[in-house]
Amino acid sequence: MRRGISTDFQDPKTTTTDTTLPDRVADPSLANHIALVDDDGHCSYAELLGDAMAWRDRLEPAKPGDRIACLVPPGRTHVAIQLGIWARRGIAVPLAVSHPLPELEYVLDDARPAVVVADPTLPQAPHLETSARTRGATTLTPPPSPRPTTVPTPNPTRDPLTPTDPALLIYTSGTTGRPKGVLATHRNLTAQITTLTAAWAWSASDRILHTLPLHHIHGVVNALACALWSGATCEFGTRAPASTWDRLASGEITLFMAVPTVYTRLIRAWEAAPPATRRRWSRGAARLRLMVSGSAALPVDTLERWREITGHTLLERYGMTEIGMALSNPLSGERRPGHVGPPLPGVEARVVDEEGRPVARGVQGEIEVRGPQVFREYWGRPGETAAALRDGWFQTGDEGCVEAGGYYRILGRRSVDIVKTGGYKVSALEVEEVYRAHPAVRDVAVVGVPHPEWGEQLCAAWVPAEGFEVSAGTEMRAWGKERLAPYKVPHLFMAVPDLPRNTMGKVQKTAVHRIFRE
Ligand code: MCA
Ligand code: AMP
């Protein structure tokens, strides 16, 4: 049955595994509830849906299954476009607003979107539009705010969304080549969302402070989609620590989610603040009902300091772009420092040896995950999709072990070439490949070195090409920033006469690590 403000989506009253996020947003009982708050004010669910329907109509050139890329900062317009894409049965491809043109063009070439929406206030927008048109895509621009009030109309495609429709394409770095597009269906997203909304007891009275980027699962699913699914309010905030603290202390926020780097920065800001401000921030933050950390290992001293400051024991969980969230400390019960908890309901997890055989409790091995949350495919890469799955189990590439009570501990990654910095996953091989094109670089090796703020910090040892002067680290960084996402650009560069190699001529990354540690 179709009802309510939209004629496109299902009746959310009978939520099943086939209910989609757009169905929930269209719940008529939510119409007047505040859905989003951003710099331009707030909007109700009815207004958001109206915007989404207007976008569905504007995205007319796109057919079901087409990719639609969106370079728009987090806020009402971004969310409306995402819902509009789904109303058209398209695949949303969120682009990172921090990425330089070459990274964005890589996604255009790989995802081949039919339509690209770019916010003209972003510096990359004009170039992106040119690149998109050269590749045969239609380009669209969001209307300037204040936005027109829109009246929803019936879906012109007369082709309702189905749960197996592909929904979201998120690019993530891996051990091979350039980033891969991880494709999730609506059913995958529904499984990811319903697991979390139940485990963390989301309700319509929640209000989350959202400061995460919208081109990764943490920001798109855990923070935004869970809020919309629950009829809650999602408030987009800035990343400046003082304004985050002010909002956390406002008494209006019930939930906060961030990566460990953000908690480290908030602790630093608190420690630098005058005593009266500290008291206000601590008192206010203590009133939230839940604070979550994830995307990278939460150092135990950060967890403990945060507890001293706010009274909150951060709930640490573990996830991945390909699987959504898999393991989580509980909402009620023991949140064990240095652990990521047992599998979430509906998620199967296990630790296996090299041959894929489950190992005994306490023994280290690779974590594998199975369940309806697991993605459908790497876009256009059937071989890599098949290689990532073993008998239906997704091989995470993370090492861990199961301890008392079924709590998992993450012990590292199988590949030294995967680095987590500020919660972002970076392939050292991809960064090396880009720097090898630098005229002054004969060879280069990139590693992630433990760092108190970033978790790991990217460092590059490089061999200067003959006849070239050694460039300063700042010059090397500036060169990288024109080609790579800001978080993929190494912070430290060291010129070396040669890279350490083994007898087979292979670069020894542990020796490169040692150069920087020393
Ligand atoms: C920015 N820089 C970085 C990073 N971000 N360097 C290393 N790692 C980073 N992550 C560079 C900038 O280019 C800048 O260089 C300098 O560091 C300082 O920039 P700053 O403005 O201070 O940083 P920022 O822009 O405030 O960003 C920090 C951040 C951000 C807020 C921690 O990295 C962030 O939003 N991280 C969250 C990522 C996330 O959502 N991950 C989820 C993916 P210069 O000084 O030279 O200009 S993982 C996921 O989704 C799975 C499913 C999961 O489990 O959650
Ligand atoms: P991404 O591919 O960007 O989705 O990042 C997923 C990766 O982040 C996982 O494979 C882990 O290596 C890491 N990760 C996520 N959450 C945690 C956590 N709580 N502790 C340690 N590592 C984590």
- Cα 98 to ligand 1 centroid, rounded to whole Å: 10
* Nearest protein Cα to ligand 2, atom 5: 320
- Cα 423 to ligand 1 centroid, rounded to whole Å: 7
C-alpha–C-alpha distance, residues 88 and 62, integer Å: 7
Position 4 pLDDT exceeds 70:
no
- Cα 276 to ligand 2 centroid, rounded to whole Å: 36
Phi, psi dihedrals of residue 459, rounded to the nearest 5°: -130, 140
Asked whether 155 lines ligand 1 (CB < 6 A), one says no
Going by pLDDT thresholds of 50, 70 and 90, the confidence category of residue 26 is very high
* Nearest protein Cα to ligand 1, atom 3: 487
Q: Measured in whole angstroms, how far is the alpha carbon of residue 465 from the centre of its chain?
A: 37
Asked whether 410 lines ligand 2 (CB < 6 A), one says yes
- Cα 438 to ligand 2 centroid, rounded to whole Å: 31
What was the pLDDT predicted at 16? 78
Asked whether 163 lines ligand 1 (CB < 6 A), one says no
Asked whether 180 lines ligand 2 (CB < 6 A), one says no
C-alpha–C-alpha distance, residues 357 and 366, integer Å: 10
Cis omega (within 30 of 0) for bond into 342: no
Asked whether 38 lines ligand 2 (CB < 6 A), one says no
CA torsion through residues 369, 374, 380, 382, sign = positive
Q: Counting atoms of ligand 1 from 1, which one is nearest the CA of 98?
A: 25
Nearest ligand to the CA atom of 222 = 1
Asked whether 19 lines ligand 2 (CB < 6 A), one says no
CATH assignment of 23-32+41-161, among 3.40.50.150, 3.40.50.980, 3.90.1150.10, 3.90.79.10: 3.40.50.980
Nearest ligand to the CA atom of 366 = 2
Asked whether 398 lines ligand 2 (CB < 6 A), one says yes
Q: What size, in residues, is the chain? A: 518
What's the average model confidence in pLDDT over 94-105?
Answer: 98
Instruction: Give me the residue spans of the domains in the chain.
Output: 23-32+41-161, 416-517
Q: What is the enclosing helix (H) or strand (E) of 199?
A: helix 186-199
User: In sequence order, which ranges of 59-185 are alpha helices (DSSP H)?
Assistant: 76-87, 101-111, 125-134
Residue range 372-421, pLDDT digits in tens: 999 999 999 999 999 999 999 999 999 999 999 999 999 999 999 999 99
Q: What is the token pair recorded at 468?
A: 């070239």
Torsion-angle region of residue 278: left (phi > 0), alpha (psi -120 to 50) or beta? alpha
Pairing of strands 180-185, 377-378: antiparallel
What was the pLDDT predicted at 13? 55
Asked whether 218 lines ligand 1 (CB < 6 A), one says yes
Asked whether 425 lines ligand 2 (CB < 6 A), one says yes
Indicate the CATH number for domain 416-517.
3.30.300.30
Strand order in the sheet with 290-293: 41-44, 34-38, 233-236, 207-210, 255-258, 290-293, 315-320, 324-328
Range name among 36-40, 173-177, 201-205, 266-270 with the lowest pLDDT average = 173-177
Residue range 435-484, pLDDT digits in tens: 999 999 999 999 999 999 999 999 999 999 988 777 787 899 999 999 99
Asked whether 420 lines ligand 2 (CB < 6 A), one says yes
Whole-Å CA distances, 505 to 69, 428, 498, 499: 42, 18, 12, 10
What was the pLDDT predicted at 174? 85
As a whole number, the mean pLDDT across the chain is: 93
Non-local (6+) Cβ contacts of 186 within 8 A are: 20, 21, 86, 161, 162, 163, 164, 165, 167
pTM: 0.95
Position 5 pLDDT exceeds 50:
no
Q: What is the enclosing helix (H) or strand (E) of 478?
A: helix 473-481
Using DSSP's 3-state secondary structure scheme, residue 139 falls into strand
Residue range 267-320, pLDDT digits in tens: 999 999 999 999 999 999 999 999 999 999 999 999 999 999 999 999 999 999
Q: Counting atoms of ligand 2 from 1, which one is nearest the CA of 293?
A: 19
Asked whether 320 lines ligand 1 (CB < 6 A), one says yes
C-alpha–C-alpha distance, residues 265 and 36, integer Å: 25
- Cα 73 to ligand 1 centroid, rounded to whole Å: 15
Q: Which amino acid is at 457?
A: Q
- Cα 321 to ligand 2 centroid, rounded to whole Å: 9
- Cα 102 to ligand 1 centroid, rounded to whole Å: 19
What's the average model confidence in pLDDT over 122-147?
Answer: 90
Q: Counting atoms of ligand 1 from 1, which one is nearest the CA of 457?
A: 7
